[in-house]
Amino acid sequence: MIDLELVLDNLPLYLRGTWTTLWLTFASLALGLVLAVPLGLARTSRNPLINGPVWAYTYFFRGTPLLVQLFMIYYGAAQFAWIRESVLWPLLSQAWFCALLAFTLNTAAYTAEIVRGAVQATPRGEIEAARALGMPRALVLRRIVLPSAFRRALPAYGNEMVFMLHGSAVASTVTIVDLTGAARIVNSRYYSPYEAFLTAAFFYLLLTFAIVGLVKLLERRWYAHLRPHPG
Amino acid sequence: MLDLQGYGPSILEGAVLTVEAALAGLALSILFGLAGAFAKLSAALPLRLLAGAYTTLIRGVPDLVLMLLVFFGGQMLVNDLVARMGWDHVDVGPFTAGVVTLGFVYGAYMAETFRGAILAVPKGQLEAARAFGMSPFLVFRRILLPQMLRHALPGFGNNWLVLLKATALLSVIGLDDMVRKAALAAGATRQPFTFYFAVALVFLALTTVSTLLLAFAERRVRRGEARPA
């Protein structure tokens, strides 16, 4: 039924695609996380001038499809002369940069809301105790709030990592040969959709399990103090 | 504001198709979800294994890949079947393929949501209803469904929002939805940002309305619960 020879012949293409998927996903996740921490903290602010714009940003990026966001950047940037004449144009005219930008902004929006939820769940007493010990606000943030917030955010962030991996498949719609792109090439070349897409699905499944396993490992480490002690 | 240069009605037409595909996909995903949830809780091991494989495998693969698989692979399967039966050629359009995939993929997420909701209903109530002589269907309709609704609604709402946004992917397999209409308008006017932004705003309106309706529904199904003091 499945033509394994066809799959093996195209294995190098799939492996290159897997590599593209991996670096796009993890570069976006890393950049998105760096953006998300200050954005998430801004969302906990009571000042509407700080909270409002970040709220609008996360509302837009969480309320619209990633595919449309990617098209807005990849196809949309060329509409404006000031972008075409800017120093960023050599980057913005390339598919990989647009995908990286769209994915980063998207995951940053979701992650910012995860950070907000985790920070807001900090027990008040912990902050009050730290303040009472004379810690300045920045130190409270660094030593008390963020470490426990990261711990609380881990399960939700693990889901976000999987969503980003799966979401990155839309990169194949803007000429990028990621894992899905490789499958689309194989399908159009041999007209064998089962081999083409099931192979990609298999690789995605492996990557998903790897991420889930990684998060489980981290959870075991970070929640070690919460495990019941033997004896 | 946004000058759509006469393409507004065309985008709106696409938006209607987007909503239709999303609602049809939702209906199908509820069926797959219920079947999956009951199979997961079933006493029969083969059913449990099958449902476990369904929810694990489907949720581990991007929806776009599954969509392409169903669109191209499904067409091939139908062609084979039709040829074997000696019938005429049958075309699986992007709408059918898209709706089937959306239902099948999000059914796996629904199954997880429903499974949790079913487990949250106290078992004794179901046993009591059976002891009263209610048929299994009556137990489902009178005891299980009203109570699991309450527990399923938050997860159900999330799944719906993800499914709604995933309909944008149907443009990739050639459905004339609003993303594709925007692409056509963008090509003709050379103003891609304007049109994709317009589509984004329509999606934002749809997700906003959904969120409001879901919040209203959640308040309604929780009206019998005691309020925290």
Amino acid identity for residue B42 in this structure: S
Judge: A78–B204 Cβ closer than 8 Å, yes or no.
no
Q: How far is B165 from chain A (nearest CA, A)?
A: 5
Give this complex's ipTM.
0.91
* Rg of chain A, C-alpha, whole Å: 21
Domain ranges of chain B: 8-221
Q: What angle do CA B181, B59, A16 make, to 5 degrees?
A: 75
Question: Tokens at residue B116, please?
Answer: 């949790």
Alpha carbon of A53 to those of A118, A181, B205: distances in Å? 20, 35, 18
Question: Cβ separation of B200 and A201 shorter than 8 Å?
Answer: no
Residue-level pLDDT at A168 = 97
Question: Residue B80: what residue type?
Answer: D
- Does the global pTM surpass 0.90? yes
Q: Residue ranges of the domains in chain A?
A: 4-220
Q: Distance from A203 to chain B by nearest Cα, in Å?
A: 9
3-class secondary-structure state, position B74: helix
pLDDT digits (tens, 9 = 90+) for A132-191: 999 999 999 999 999 999 999 999 999 999 999 999 999 999 999 999 999 999 999 988
* Inter-residue contact B105 to B64 (CB < 8 Å): no
Fold classified for A4-220? MetI-like fold (1.10.3720)
Q: How many whole angstroms separate alpha carbon A122 and alpha carbon A152? A: 9
**A67/B208 touch (CB, cutoff 8 Å), yes or no:** no
- The CATH number of B8-221, from 3.40.50.10680, 3.30.1330.20, 1.10.645.10, 1.10.3720.10, is 1.10.3720.10
Q: What is the distance between the alpha carbons of residues B224 and B229, in angstroms, rounded to a whole number?
A: 15
Would you say B63 and B169 are in contact if contact means Cβ atoms under 8 Å apart? yes
A210 touches chain B (CB under 8 A): no
Tens digit of each residue's pLDDT (9 = 90 or more) over B143-172: 999 889 889 999 999 999 999 999 999 999
Output the CA torsion B148→B150→B155→B160 (10° steps): 100
Whole-angstrom distance, CA of residue B29 vs CA of residue B36: 10
- A151 min Cα distance to partner chain B (Å): 23
